Amino acid sequence: MSVSFAAEVHGFNNMRSTVSEHTSIVIIDCQTLSRSCLIRALQGELPEVAIHDIAKPDGLVGVIEKNINLAVLNIENCSLTDEWVSVNLAYIHQLRPETSLMLLTQRDEASITDATVSEVARLGVKGYTTNTAPISVVLAAIRLILAGGTYYPRSMVIDHGDCANSASCTSDTINVLPMPVAKGEVDETLAVTKASTIAFTERERQVLATLRRGLPNKIIASELDLSENTIKVYISHIMRKLNATNRTEAVIFSQQFLSVNNSSRIHAPEPRVTPRYDPPRFRDVLQGLG
């Protein structure tokens, strides 16, 4: 299953060829109005996706869908340490262990610290955003999670030190993703890098693995016992090798590469063979934009 994050942030909605008809999402929100608004937006953007809505997590037992790809839970103004949150996350995971989790909160993004999102990641939540975020950001986050990625606001997506203007480093920074191209016109900035020519060092692969987990530079540095400045250098090298313009692209592009190439081919390319990079999922995304 593959969806296009770049297409979402640029308003390309013709994605019928990239989303499986078996994909399903459940919205868990006790507030009827906010639940209905999100459902209406999702139905317009992902018409092939089965969307279920329930007021409380215990309503999951009534969802007969065999596989639920994503559960979006509105925790309103609750703290992550509140018992209601931990109990319901545990309940959802127990009932649907294969389901990715995303949280919506009424708390302002400015109040979300690295410690907050670190706790979110520890709980196994793939996405965390505020109810005040633009609908385009929420939909883009959902697309990214369905594609296998993670989305957290602020430094969990793009570290402040990686932006030329740190004051603008909020969720809106995701809008810098390049414009997708029309059917049959593969943009060099998106897919020209051949998987067989990418050679990551051992340390770069370790840093890339932490990026795919959605960790900020501070925590990456702690895990790998390196300085934050050194981590930034490694991330710059990774982005350049993947032809990515930001951390989010680096994660998405690396997932596309790994979906069609095993890890040994990525970091140990064969010098005499240069296979054409044409991953089926990425090609379908581009064709769906035609």
Q: What is the mean pLDDT of residues 59-67?
A: 82
Single-letter residue type at 239: M
pLDDT digits (tens, 9 = 90+) for 117-150: 788 888 889 988 888 888 888 888 898 888 888 8
Which pLDDT belongs to residue 70? 94
Give me the CATH topology for the region 5-176: Rossmann fold (3.40.50)
Q: How far apart are CA 113 and CA 49, in angstroms?
A: 33
5, 249 contact by CB (below 8 A): no
Flag whether pLDDT at 183 surpasses 60: no
- Give domain limits for the chain: 5-176, 188-288
Same fold? 5-176, 188-288? no
158, 173 contact by CB (below 8 A): yes
Where residue 258 falls among pLDDT bands split at 50, 70, 90? low
pTM: 0.50
Helix pair angle (114-122, 217-224), 10° resolution: 60
Q: Give the position of tokens 């060829």.
A: 17
E strand map for the chain: 24-28, 50-54, 70-74, 100-105, 127-130
pLDDT digits (tens, 9 = 90+) for 39-56: 999 999 888 889 999 999
Side-by-side strand order, sheet with 24-28: 50-54, 24-28, 70-74, 100-105, 127-130
Q: How far apart are CA 254 and CA 208, in angstroms?
A: 8
Which pLDDT belongs to residue 36? 92
Q: For 87-93, which contacts have Cβ atoms below 8 Å and span 24 or more sequence positions?
A: 88/57, 89/123, 89/124, 89/125, 91/57, 91/58, 92/28, 92/57, 92/60, 93/124
Most confident of 124-128, 166-170, 254-258: 124-128
Q: How far apart are CA 186 and CA 183, in angstroms?
A: 8
Q: Which one is predicted more confidently, 284 or 177?
A: 284
Which CATH number applies to 188-288? 1.10.10.10
